[in-house]
């Protein structure tokens, strides 16, 4: 289903504003710990000199096997969507929902007409590419998607791509995948106009440092860079990139795999606990990410769980969802998930 309606939900509401003091925070889906050794590196930073992103950019280009001209550093992935809106100025954007709302908010703020393509929970939130109107010259979807966890197969991306269209894939949670570099192996000729927006803040627990980047063709990178402020990425964010992918990268990739495995184990335990809730009508959607999407047909789960000291992400701010849905962060410590299950058991 598609819609050209107005903004509707509060597209600028995010989980970090939805945690009352003293509540267990399952609204923010960021790893609780930064990378090992990062604090020591940050303590040695030269904060007098202007930031120079050349090395960080080169390291990311090497990681993805592309020339450096294909990489743009940004102040968190969210900034990329503002750069896309102002740098590309599409005539009509299609945002696949329910999904992260920052892209649509950025496009609307730039005066770009936005059409919503709504997916159905009954289909597991899978996207039928034929529902995206051909006249849309910019299409945005998440992979893995936030908040549904759905991962669009590569053939769906190929069916969405076409000459004259920019296909923007929000890969903010790709680092949680077993293979976070899967799209590097796509035949770019088969997926023209692909623009990938990446984030390092989720699995690495550095949301406060705003570390993101864009992978795209050089002409797109140049147009996005032209609308950014000078020095858009600070020295601390650049240090994160250099720490993760410079010297010691092999050790930190092993650490990433450990973090992903811990989340996978905790998510499996949480899903098993949800299945075992006696008589529970909770609907569950999950993917290879550090959150699950839940729905109760007759309860406002967010408010109900808050009464038990557990804060989860409200989902009525995502187009296509209402107050019966919540997104729940998967903490790598399974005991945190058990507190959620205890709360759900108490409100059946």
Is residue 242 within 8 A of residue 80, CB to CB? The reply is: no
CA 27 from chain centre, in angstroms, equals 14
CA-CA distance, 172 to 70, in Å (whole number)? 18
The token pair at 336 is 């945190």
What local confidence, expressed as pLDDT, does residue 19 receive? 52
What local confidence, expressed as pLDDT, does residue 15 receive? 44
In b/e form, how buried is each residue of 66-96, taking b as 16+ CB within 10 angstroms? beeebbbbbbbbbbbbbbbbbbbebebbbbb
Q: Domains in the chain, start-ordered, CATH in brackets?
A: 2-31+251-347 (3.90.1150.10), 45-248 (3.40.640.10)
Question: Which residues is 293 bridged to in the sheet?
Answer: 285, 327
What local confidence, expressed as pLDDT, does residue 9 receive? 61
What local confidence, expressed as pLDDT, does residue 12 receive? 55
CA-CA distance, 326 to 316, in Å (whole number)? 8
Q: Count Cα neighbours of 310 within 13 Å in the Cβ-side half-sphere.
A: 25
Identify how many contiguous H helices and E strands the chain contains and give both numbers. 10, 13
What local confidence, expressed as pLDDT, does residue 348 receive? 58
What local confidence, expressed as pLDDT, does residue 298 receive? 75
Is residue 167 within 8 A of residue 191, CB to CB? The reply is: yes
Q: Tens of pLDDT along the chain (348 residues)?
A: 555 445 456 665 554 555 557 678 898 889 999 999 999 999 999 999 999 999 999 999 999 999 999 999 999 999 999 999 999 999 999 999 999 999 999 999 999 999 999 999 999 999 999 999 999 999 999 999 999 999 999 999 999 999 999 999 999 999 998 889 999 999 888 899 999 999 999 999 999 999 999 999 999 999 999 999 999 999 999 999 999 999 999 999 999 999 999 999 999 999 999 998 877 688 999 999 999 999 988 778 888 888 888 889 889 999 999 989 999 999 998 888 888 888 888 765
CA-CA distance, 292 to 140, in Å (whole number)? 21
């Amino acid at each position: 289903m598609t819609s050209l309606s107005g903004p509707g939900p509060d597209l600028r509401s995010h989980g970090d504003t939805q945690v009352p003091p003293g509540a267990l925070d399952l609204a923010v889906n960021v790893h609780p710990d930064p990378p090992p050794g990062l604090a020591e590196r940050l303590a040695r930073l030269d904060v007098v000199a202007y930031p120079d992103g050349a090395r960080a950019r080169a390291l990311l280009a090497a990681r993805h096997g592309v020339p450096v001209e294909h990489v743009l550093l940004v102040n968190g992935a969210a900034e990329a969507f503002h750069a896309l809106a102002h740098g590309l100025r599409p005539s009509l954007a299609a945002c696949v929902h329910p999904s992260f709302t920052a892209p649509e908010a950025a496009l609307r703020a730039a005066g770009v007409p936005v059409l919503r393509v709504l997916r159905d929970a009954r289909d597991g939130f899978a996207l039928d590419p034929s529902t995206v109107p051909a006249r849309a010259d910019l299409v945005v979807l998440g992979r893995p998607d936030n908040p549904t966890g759905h991962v669009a197969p590569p053939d769906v991306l190929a069916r969405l791509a076409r000459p004259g269209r920019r296909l923007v894939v929000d890969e903010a949670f790709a680092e949680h995948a077993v293979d976070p570099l899967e799209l590097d192996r796509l035949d770019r000729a088969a997926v023209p106009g692909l623009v990938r927006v990446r984030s390092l803040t989720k699995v690495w627990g550095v949301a406060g440092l705003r570390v993101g980047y864009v992978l795209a063709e050089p002409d797109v990178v140049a147009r996005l860079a032209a609308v950014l402020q000078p020095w858009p990425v600070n020295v601390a964010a650049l240090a994160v990139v250099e720490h993760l992918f410079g010297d010691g990268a092999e050790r930190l990739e092993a650490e990433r795999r450990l973090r992903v495995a811990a989340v996978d184990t905790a998510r499996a335990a949480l899903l098993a606990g949800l299945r075992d809730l006696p008589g529970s009508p909770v609907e569950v959607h999950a993917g290879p990410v550090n959150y699950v999407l839940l729905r109760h047909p007759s309860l406002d789960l967010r408010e109900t769980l808050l009464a038990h000291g557990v804060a989860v992400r409200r989902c009525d701010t995502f187009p296509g969802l209402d107050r019966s849905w919540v997104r729940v962060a998967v903490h790598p410590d399974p005991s945190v998930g058990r507190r959620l299950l205890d709360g759900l058991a108490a409100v059946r």
